[in-house]
């Protein structure tokens, strides 16, 4: 099978490898769609995320869908829940498996991910996809789950105002979810104009390019009140600062972005004087059934966020596109045939 491994900063290599062999509680999956996430780009650009560093060549990719090829469920289309918790620790017993200290996660640390043609993964983590959700949309369920978890932490209620700072795919999903949750005013920022345009299209009443006087303009858009909940999903100090500035006194700030270099800073005095509730969001917690139901019902738009698709042989073009932040979501299809013409 073909597998794409990261060997060092910017050093991705496509090679032939032996097919994965499923364990007793696993099934073999033919991978048909893998999203390139911002966290994949941290591995690509920095050879790690925080204290999780590259110690051996790693297959990236955790936003994935495919088809089971063996066992009683052979032929079934599935989304892959990328996290496997131990199920036995105090954290798991409390219903917080996403925070399990022993969690295994696709494409992270020592666990190879989904940027390969065949993957063995626990049957319990293979979530059936309805016919209404195609494979690329199935890969988008993981970022949708991340957005659902962040929104729950933000405790958005009907009538609230919400700020989303960072309008990549997860930020754009958060805007949609905030609207569904009953937020009456949604404001947003991003450094890229095409993402700001997408934020407006998906429900932000005011969305601006970051880096100027956007905070004053967005404050005016909330009638001077600020926002009840501010969610940072850019991985940048400036976005956290905007969230703190826009949050109203006693509001909630959720930090969901992953910073380069494993450091984030805020103006502590400003946050303290407002009495802000500062919360950190990691991944998601048992979100797939809800995510599938929302997409199937047409409540959340995910397919339009997929702007680029590549075969695995086109991985260099795929990662160039993702690193430049062209479009929105870049999908790799490991099962697609290699192109016969020039690679775009």
Q: Of 160, 182, 118, 148, nearest to 312 (Cα)? A: 118
In this predicted model, what pLDDT tens digit does every residue of 324-336 receive, in sequence order?
Answer: 999 999 999 999 8
All domains of the chain in start order, with CATH: 2-140+302-333 (3.90.180.10), 147-280 (3.40.50.720)
Look at residue 341 in the predicted model and tell me its pLDDT.
61
Look at residue 267 in the predicted model and tell me its pLDDT.
83
Look at residue 239 in the predicted model and tell me its pLDDT.
95
Residues 6+ apart with CB under 8 A from 165: 171, 188, 189, 190, 210, 230, 231, 232, 233, 234, 239, 240, 242, 243, 246
How far apart (Å, rounded) are the C-alpha atoms in residues 129 and 67? 10
In this predicted model, what pLDDT tens digit does every residue of 55-96 receive, in sequence order?
Answer: 999 999 999 999 999 999 999 999 999 999 999 999 999 999
Mean pLDDT across 266-295: 92
Between 154-168, 203-217, 309-323, the lowest mean confidence (pLDDT) is in 203-217
Res. 343: pLDDT tops 70? no
With cut-offs at 50, 70 and 90, classify the pLDDT of residue 156. Answer: very high
Look at residue 97 in the predicted model and tell me its pLDDT.
92
* The token pair that represents 315 in the structure block: 């991985």
* The token pair that represents 265 in the structure block: 């800073």
In this predicted model, what pLDDT tens digit does every residue of 32-46 receive, in sequence order?
Answer: 999 999 999 999 999
How far apart (Å, rounded) are the C-alpha atoms in residues 114 and 132? 23
Res. 222: pLDDT tops 90? yes
CB 253 within 8 A of CB 188: no
Residue 1 DSSP symbol:
-
Torsions phi, psi of 154, nearest 5? -75, -15
Look at residue 344 in the predicted model and tell me its pLDDT.
41
The residues that bridge with 84 in the sheet, in sequence order, are 104
Give the containing element (helix H, strand E) for 289. Answer: helix 288-296
How far apart (Å, rounded) are the C-alpha atoms in residues 280 and 150? 8
- pTM greater than 0.85: yes
């Amino acid at each position: 099978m073909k597998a794409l491994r990261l060997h060092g900063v910017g050093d991705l290599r496509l090679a032939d490898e032996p097919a994965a062999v499923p364990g007793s509680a696993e099934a073999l999956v033919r991978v048909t769609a893998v999203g390139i996430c911002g966290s994949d780009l941290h591995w690509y650009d920095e050879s790690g995320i925080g204290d999780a560093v590259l110690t051996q060549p790693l297959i990236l990719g955790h936003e994935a869908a495919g088809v089971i090829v063996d066992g009683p469920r052979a032929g079934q289309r599935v989304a892959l829940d990328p996290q496997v918790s131990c199920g036995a620790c105090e954290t798991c017993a409390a219903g917080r498996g996403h925070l399990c200290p022993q969690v295994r996660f696709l494409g992270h640390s020592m666990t190879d991910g989904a940027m390969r043609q065949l993957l063995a993964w626990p049957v319990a983590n293979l979530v059936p996809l309805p016919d209404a959700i195609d494979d690329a949309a199935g890969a988008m369920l993981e970022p949708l789950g991340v957005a659902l978890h962040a929104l729950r932490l933000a405790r958005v209620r009907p009538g609230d105002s919400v700020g989303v700072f960072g309008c990549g795919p997860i930020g754009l999903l958060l805007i949609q979810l905030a609207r569904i949750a009953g937020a009456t005013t949604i404001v947003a920022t991003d450094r890229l104009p095409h993402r700001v345009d997408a934020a407006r299209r998906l429900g932000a009443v005011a969305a601006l390019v970051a880096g100027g006087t956007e905070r004053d303009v967005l404050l005016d858009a909330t009638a001077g009140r600020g926002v009840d909940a501010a969610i940072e999903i850019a991985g940048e100090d400036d976005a956290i600062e905007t969230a703190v500035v826009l949050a109203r006194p006693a509001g909630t700030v959720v930090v969901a972005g992953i910073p380069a270099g494993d450091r984030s800073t805020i103006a502590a005095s400003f946050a303290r004087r407002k009495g802000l509730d500062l919360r950190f969001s990691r991944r998601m917690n048992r979100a797939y059934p809800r995510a599938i139901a929302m997409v199937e019902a047409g409540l959340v738009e995910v397919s339009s966020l997929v702007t680029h698709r590549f075969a695995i042989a086109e991985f260099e073009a795929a990662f160039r596109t993702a690193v430049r932040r062209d479009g929105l979501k870049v999908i790799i299809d490991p099962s697609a045939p290699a192109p016969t013409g020039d690679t775009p």
